[in-house]
Structure 1
Amino acid sequence: MSGRHSHSGGTPMRREEGRRGREADVPSSLVDAFASRLQGQLIRPGEPGYEPARELWNGMIDRRPALVARCAGDEDVVAAVDFARDNGMLVAVRGGGHGVAGHAVCDGGLVIDLSGMRGVDVDPEGRRAVAQGGCTLGDIDRETQRHGLATPLGVVTKTGIAGLTLSGGMGWLRRKHGLSCDNLLSARVVTADGHLLVADESQNQDLFWAVRGGGGNFGVVTSFEYRLHPVGPEVFVCFVFYPAARTKEVLRSCERYLSQRPDDFAPIGILGKVPQAEDFPPEAHGKGYAALLAPYPGDPAEGERLLRPLREIADPIRDLSGTMPYTETQAILDEDYPDGWRYYWKSMNVPELSDELIERLAEHAAAARSPQSTIDVWYQGGAMAHVGEEETAFANRDAPYLLGIEANWEAEADSAENVTWVRDTFADLRSFSAGGIYLNFPGFLEEGEQLLREGYGMNYERLSAVKAKYDLANLFHLNANIKPKS
């Protein structure tokens, strides 16, 4: 995340492995019958709407599915799963289409597209909300904030709740109220055999455990029921930019302050380059910064008082802190991730912020090939660490810090150098990690199964057994894929 506040050649991705989608091999009569079964729309190459239907937020992804099933409800999802399974088609599942790895679309197969399923039903008395699988963070926040309520979600409003929640879900409430998956009360899941199941603490408990961190391996989740918490409607946000020369002092000061405070807020440290924007003094444009971004989800006046020490670490380049609606807080980074730009990210957990690590972080941030690229330090702990390692599938909860290495750029011609910067940075920093990545920032997992197993941690073998129960043939494998236990 660049923290820019305002804005003034793709390297080839590996092709999908496994079954190939081959619409040409499926008799047109079967395709027509499938289309007639849908309440939604079946879109084929060359038809109106096909090009937008195959486009994703990440401009690096350029794939051409044979069919896109724009689902209108649960029964459409069941029909799509049945059709793909019975005809041996490659399957991709699209929620918000915001996953950086681009699993939401495939070459030559069937895209099960939930982007039209965006209903949100809020129960303010019971502090619960049910959201369909195509919802974005913004969809839920808009409805829950009418009642001064929120559930922990991510940090960019266009992100789909499905991919976010299924692989954990880290946002501004992670230390106060936990991860998105920690606040999941139930899910409706269409499994590979075409059954629509409810997964919660009393029904299909193994599936409920697995979808809270195990990704999209177990089926298509058509709706999510979340626990809500009082948040907003206004919050105070600390958003302050310091010179890069003060990086160690900034990150250290934040670390010390959190060790003395309750788990009320969850900062992110951002290392990047000052944008050429009116919000920043011209003499700082293009120079390095170390920023702290930390919304306080309680009373705004209390938040301003509590977060003041983070704003007084040194003389800032610019202090953009202030009180704002919670919905605007959730959107504060939206401008930094335009649709169609190119994104290549990796992540890793680290056990400590040593002096040597901070020096390396600053060096790599300064060497970024794109001025929009950043290295982010997520301060973890709090409520997300209070959940037992085996209570949900989400792993590595005890890691105090997550490093996000983000290459964000516009032109295809710049792709190779930006991808190389991320890979080189990741390789150089690996020695500081005790293992573990965040599977919503996975890169394209070129490192293979070892890194994947780190992402799922000690829960991998149990996940593999659940995978075998619900998807033995591995129909849903375009994800951070867990092989079914044989």
Structure 2
Amino acid sequence: MAAAGVSAVSLGVGAAGPAAADSAGAPGVLGGQSVLPGDPRYQTLSQGFNQRWSSRPAYIRLAGSDADAVAALKTALDKGLRPTIRGGGHCYEGFVDNDRGVILDLSTLRGVRAARDKFGAPTYCVEGGATNWDVYTSLFRTYGVTLPAGSCYSVGAGGHVSGGGYGLLSRRDGLTVDHLVQVDVVTVRGGTVELTTAHRDDPATSPESDLFWAHTGGGGGNFGVVLRYHFARLPKPPPRVWLSSVAWSWADLLKHPEDFRRLVENFGSFFAQHSGPKETVYRGLFAILKLTHRTNGNVVLLSQWDEDDPSPLEEFLAAMEAGLTSRAVVQSYAAGGVLLPYPDKRRQMPWFQATMTLNPSGANQRGKYKSAYQRRRFTPTHIDAFWEWLTKTVPGMDLTQTLVQIDSYGCRINEHKPAEAAIPQRDSVMKLQYQTYWTDPAQDAAHLAYLSGLYQAVYKATNGIPEIDTDTDGAYVNYPDVDLGTADQKHPAYQRLYYKQNYARLRKAKKTWDEKNVFHHAQSVTLPS
């Protein structure tokens, strides 16, 4: 029998690994494949979604089973090769790229099924290589439930969940990790590579308790290779939802700058008022305000409302237009990669079809991202900076795909205490994502400088970053930004901005489960000094 929390599938470092003898592309004895340079899949599997990043690994290992994942990691360590783990490949920075090392690719492990946790209780099991779309289609069609995760269909569950993923149902159903009960993780502890199961109900003093907790928002690539997530008591999605998409023309906003200010004030004030843990009326409303650059043509407000009576949605939309001279129209072209091709401002449709409609991952381009949690309504400094930078033109730059996306947040998310899960931001009312996209590598420096300038201007009052426990509350680990510091620096800001007071316990888990720092990247959890 395996020890509690540890699978019998384990190989001590130093033993021969069965995956080591695989030839390029040949199935391994444990079901996996090694993809070497020269294989037609190599270039694709060496590069993730963001075209800014590519690498030349020694090989990519497509894990085929539990035993294969254990053996593949052990083989990499025996060869002295650094491993990185990739699921969907959507990391915003280059954390899953790996020159001369090994990329452990989980994308063929994408099952979603009913299962049992290690105590025998029923769960829904999601493998680490599953995408959001795998999760939604399987859970809904087979079991009539869903996970309150993100809208981008091709994002991998492996990284999305471990960072505390959220989506359009999170205000009514919480974060992904609020439903998590167990993780099955390939770890390297005491020189042994093994499959460890860590459960929410493990004794609080056990090492497994820290390992489970670390995966409730501690970020991907820090503690091991997550093969499976187990969820319990998943919510049923609403049978139908209303989708709304309205826009304000930049041509009108430039004539009436006060309308831009009022729109942002209206949005921020509404969600500051209606996002607390006791909110009842608007818990089922999720809205996204896309403040595009002026060259895009329009500012867009997307909304999803989960009840049959559209009156609260109409009241929300009226609140957004209060005091504006410019009138909203039906959205007519894409903003931030999303276009609802409907001739009306709102439309009711089955939830699953609505989820299909709102699931773009965008084109494969070069991109840069920043983020912030917002605890209160926007200040004049915030709004002035949005206006200044989104109306600024830069000769030679195409900024039509540059925007500040403001997502509603809170409600059920804010029912939890900051230390209950590793993700600590539990009283925010909005989450912001700063985005810019382009295709020409020669434009890298210009786009990075533009987004950095915008971000620093917005948070000028707190030294250019969304400081914790102020109007803002740090940044989101799943939208990583190396401008917030890197692990090789002394006291980098990301440790505080992503994790707040929870960072000490994450470092404790790191010491226990990865004392040799096998799993590391530019913003990983560092070992205690």
What SS does structure 1 have at the residue aligned with 2:507? Answer: helix
**Whole-angstrom distance in 2 between the partners of 1:127 and 1:428:** 49
**Whole-angstrom distance in 2 between the partners of 1:62 and 1:206:** 33
Q: 1:39 corresponds to which residue?
A: 31
Letter in 2 for 1:131: V
Q: CA deviation at 1:181?
A: 1.4
Letter in 2 for 1:32: A
Q: How does 1:234-253 map to 2 (within 5 A)?
A: 234-244=240-250, 245=253, 246-253=259-266
> Is the contact between residue 122 and residue 143 of structure 1 (CA under 8 Å) also seen in structure 2?
no
> Is the contact between residue 149 and residue 232 of structure 1 (CA under 8 Å) also seen in structure 2?
no
1:344 maps to which of 339, 358, 368: 368
Q: 2:380 corresponds to which residue?
A: 355
Identity across the alignment (%): 26
**Structure 1 residue ranges without an equivalent (≥5):** 1-26, 275-285
Q: 1:127 to 1:469 in 2, by over 3 A?
A: closer
Q: CA RMSD in A?
A: 2.6
**Whole-angstrom distance in 2 between the partners of 1:485 and 1:82:** 25
Q: CA deviation at 1:307?
A: 1.0
Q: 1:277 corresponds to which residue?
A: none
**Residue 165 (structure 2) pairs with residue 169 (structure 1):** yes
What SS does structure 2 have at the residue aligned with 1:415? Answer: helix
2:41 maps to which of 44, 49, 53: 49
**Whole-angstrom distance in 2 between the partners of 1:103 and 1:185:** 27
1:452 maps to which of 495, 502, 526: 495
**Residue 177 (structure 2) pairs with residue 181 (structure 1):** yes
**Whole-angstrom distance in 1 between the partners of 2:390 and 2:495:** 25
> Is the contact between residue 119 and residue 132 of structure 1 (CA under 8 Å) also seen in structure 2?
yes
1:291 maps to which of 300, 306, 311: 300
**Residue 226 (structure 2) pairs with residue 221 (structure 1):** yes
> Is the contact between residue 127 and residue 229 of structure 1 (CA under 8 Å) also seen in structure 2?
no
**Residue 507 (structure 2) pairs with residue 474 (structure 1):** no
> Is the contact between residue 375 and residue 404 of structure 1 (CA under 8 Å) also seen in structure 2?
yes
What SS does structure 1 have at the residue aligned with 2:399? Answer: coil
2:138 maps to which of 136, 143, 146: 143
Q: CA deviation at 1:390?
A: 0.6
**Whole-angstrom distance in 1 between the partners of 2:433 and 2:528:** 31
**Residue 290 (structure 2) pairs with residue 270 (structure 1):** yes
**Residue 133 (structure 2) pairs with residue 134 (structure 1):** no
> Is the contact between residue 93 and residue 103 of structure 1 (CA under 8 Å) also seen in structure 2?
no
> Is the contact between residue 250 and residue 290 of structure 1 (CA under 8 Å) also seen in structure 2?
no
Between structure 1 and structure 2, the one with the greater Rg is 2
> Is the contact between residue 104 and residue 111 of structure 1 (CA under 8 Å) also seen in structure 2?
yes
Which has the higher mean CA deviation after the structures are superposed, 182-191 or 365-374?
365-374
**Whole-angstrom distance in 1 between the partners of 2:453 and 2:52:** 19
- Relative to the length of structure 2, the TM-score reads 0.78
Which has the higher mean CA deviation after the structures are superposed, 361-370 or 196-205?
361-370
Q: 1:431 to 1:291 in 2, by over 3 A?
A: same
**Whole-angstrom distance in 1 between the partners of 2:187 and 2:17:** 26
Instruction: Tell me which of the two structures has the higher relative contact order, counting C-alpha pairs closer than 8 angstroms and 6 or more residues apart.
Output: 1
Q: CA deviation at 1:30?
A: 8.4
Q: CA deviation at 1:33?
A: 6.2
Q: How does 1:286-325 map to 2 (within 5 A)?
A: 286=295, 288-296=297-305, 298-299=306-307, 301-302=308-309, 304-312=310-318, 313-314=320-321, 315-319=327-331, 320-325=345-350
Q: 1:292 to 1:427 in 2, by over 3 A?
A: same
Q: CA deviation at 1:131?
A: 1.1
2:215 maps to which of 195, 211, 218: 211
What SS does structure 1 have at the residue aligned with 2:302? Answer: strand
**Residue 491 (structure 2) pairs with residue 439 (structure 1):** no
Q: 1:230 to 1:61 in 2, by over 3 A?
A: same
Q: CA deviation at 1:356?
A: 2.7
**Whole-angstrom distance in 1 between the partners of 2:483 and 2:186:** 26
Q: 1:16 corresponds to which residue?
A: none
Task: List per-residue Cα deviations over 1:388-417 (Å, max 9, x = no partner).
Answer: 111111022223332211012233232221
Letter in 2 for 1:453: R
Letter in 2 for 1:270: K
Q: CA deviation at 1:292?
A: 2.0
- Relative to the length of structure 1, the TM-score reads 0.84
> Is the contact between residue 439 and residue 455 of structure 1 (CA under 8 Å) also seen in structure 2?
yes
**Whole-angstrom distance in 2 between the partners of 1:208 and 1:481:** 17
What SS does structure 1 have at the residue aligned with 2:151? Answer: coil
> How many residues end up aligned between the 2 structures?
444
> Is the contact between residue 149 and residue 169 of structure 2 (CA under 8 Å) also seen in structure 1?
yes
Q: How does 1:406-417 map to 2 (within 5 A)?
A: 406-417=435-446
Q: CA deviation at 1:480?
A: 3.0
What SS does structure 2 have at the residue aligned with 1:145? Answer: helix
> Is the contact between residue 214 and residue 422 of structure 2 (CA under 8 Å) also seen in structure 1?
yes
**Residue 85 (structure 2) pairs with residue 93 (structure 1):** yes
**Whole-angstrom distance in 1 between the partners of 2:387 and 2:329:** 17
Letter in 2 for 1:437: A
Q: 2:336 corresponds to which residue?
A: none
**Whole-angstrom distance in 1 between the partners of 2:217 and 2:455:** 23
Q: 1:127 to 1:238 in 2, by over 3 A?
A: farther
**Whole-angstrom distance in 2 between the partners of 1:28 and 1:226:** 32
Q: 1:273 to 1:446 in 2, by over 3 A?
A: closer
> Is the contact between residue 118 and residue 134 of structure 1 (CA under 8 Å) also seen in structure 2?
yes
Letter in 2 for 1:93: I
Letter in 1 for 2:300: A
**Whole-angstrom distance in 2 between the partners of 1:483 and 1:467:** 7
> Is the contact between residue 234 and residue 326 of structure 1 (CA under 8 Å) also seen in structure 2?
yes
**Whole-angstrom distance in 1 between the partners of 2:288 and 2:426:** 17
**Whole-angstrom distance in 2 between the partners of 1:306 and 1:390:** 33
What SS does structure 2 have at the residue aligned with 1:135? Answer: coil
Q: CA deviation at 1:384?
A: 1.2
**Residue 320 (structure 2) pairs with residue 330 (structure 1):** no
Letter in 2 for 1:210: A
> Is the contact between residue 145 and residue 232 of structure 1 (CA under 8 Å) also seen in structure 2?
no
> Is the contact between residue 148 and residue 176 of structure 2 (CA under 8 Å) also seen in structure 1?
yes
> Is the contact between residue 127 and residue 229 of structure 2 (CA under 8 Å) also seen in structure 1?
yes
**Whole-angstrom distance in 1 between the partners of 2:328 and 2:212:** 46
What SS does structure 1 have at the residue aligned with 2:480? Answer: coil
Q: 1:98 to 1:30 in 2, by over 3 A?
A: closer
**Whole-angstrom distance in 1 between the partners of 2:50 and 2:223:** 24
**Whole-angstrom distance in 2 between the partners of 1:265 and 1:476:** 38
Q: CA deviation at 1:378?
A: 2.3
1:70 maps to which of 57, 62, 75: 62
Q: 1:484 corresponds to which residue?
A: 527
Q: 1:413 to 1:56 in 2, by over 3 A?
A: same
> Is the contact between residue 134 and residue 160 of structure 1 (CA under 8 Å) also seen in structure 2?
yes
What SS does structure 1 have at the residue aligned with 2:285? Answer: coil
Q: How does 1:380-391 map to 2 (within 5 A)?
A: 380-391=409-420
Q: 1:336 to 1:105 in 2, by over 3 A?
A: closer
